Amino acid sequence: MNTGGFRATSLALASLVLTVTAGCAQMPSQSGSGDTSAGSGSSAGSCNPVVGGALGALAGAMFGKGKGHLAGAAIGAGIGAFACIAYNYHVRKVRDAKAVEQEYARQRGALPASNTVADYRSELTPSNTVRSGTSAQMQSRVTVISGTHDATPQLKEELTLYSPEGKVLSTVSKPATAVDGTGEYETNFNFNLPKGIEEGRYTMRSTLFMDGKQVRTNEVPMLVVS
């Protein structure tokens, strides 16, 4: 029996299945609903976590033999479930340019020549404890100062979910198109955790990019309970 050929074929099939599983999270929503708040952007996915978990389990099972099939299936099922997380992203201005510039100039003496992020804070709401199968949101406050010699800053946020073991489970990035210059902004990544996922202390990392460069990072613990 050509075991090498079988494992190579299994690996190829597993890769294909995991690609399909992850891809399901990128399918646009067909519901036709959208966010109506001023200056917001949103993205939703259409994915069945049960199907995703089953496909992931099938892919994981292909990587081993005997008991390895069971371990691989369990790992694959977890990957498939997290691939089904859909994120909705929204941005709104909460303080205008005049208030922010006055505060910055009072503290620093003058406005900056280059685009500057004066503050970036993130928190999980409504709390850091989230029940699997329910919704939560990563909410951030961003204070931006447009440089006196720069064009309007271009911001992008990235959200990454880490397992209790520190492995990347899901990541998504969105341009903060509602940021139109100096001001304080509230950003929100809304998401639903798959039902039945492993309990434990996960980590949510929010990363802010400005004009193509990473400028700030926040890490927030998330305790998942059943």
> Does 107 or 76 have the greater pLDDT score?
107
Q: What is the pLDDT of residue 1?
A: 54
DSSP code of 2? -
Q: What is the pLDDT of residue 154?
A: 95
How would residue 6 be classed by pLDDT, with cut points 50, 70 and 90? Answer: very low
Measured between alpha carbons, how far is 162 from 218 in angstroms, rounded to an integer? 13
Measured between alpha carbons, how far is 212 from 159 in angstroms, rounded to an integer? 16
pLDDT over 50 (residue 36): no
Measured between alpha carbons, how far is 154 from 208 in angstroms, rounded to an integer? 11
Q: What is the pLDDT of residue 82?
A: 81
Measured between alpha carbons, how far is 81 from 84 in angstroms, rounded to an integer? 5
The enclosing H or E element of 77 equals helix 67-82
Give the pTM: 0.70
Least confident of 30-39, 88-97, 145-154: 30-39
> Does 171 or 39 have the greater pLDDT score?
171
Q: What is the mean pLDDT of residues 146-152?
A: 92
> Does 161 or 40 have the greater pLDDT score?
161
Q: Which residues pair with 122 in a beta bridge?
A: 140
How would residue 81 be classed by pLDDT, with cut points 50, 70 and 90? Answer: confident
How would residue 47 be classed by pLDDT, with cut points 50, 70 and 90? Answer: low
Name the 3-class secondary structure at 44.
coil
DSSP code of 182? S
Asked if 134 and 120 count as a contact pair (C-beta separation under 8 A), the reply is no
110 to each of 106, 107, 113, how far by Cα in Å? Answer: 8, 8, 9
Measured between alpha carbons, how far is 187 from 178 in angstroms, rounded to an integer? 10
Nearest to 185 by CA among 212, 147, 157: 157
Within 36-142, where are the H helices? 49-61, 67-82, 97-108
Q: What is the mean pLDDT of residues 40-64?
A: 45
Measured between alpha carbons, how far is 204 from 162 in angstroms, rounded to an integer? 6
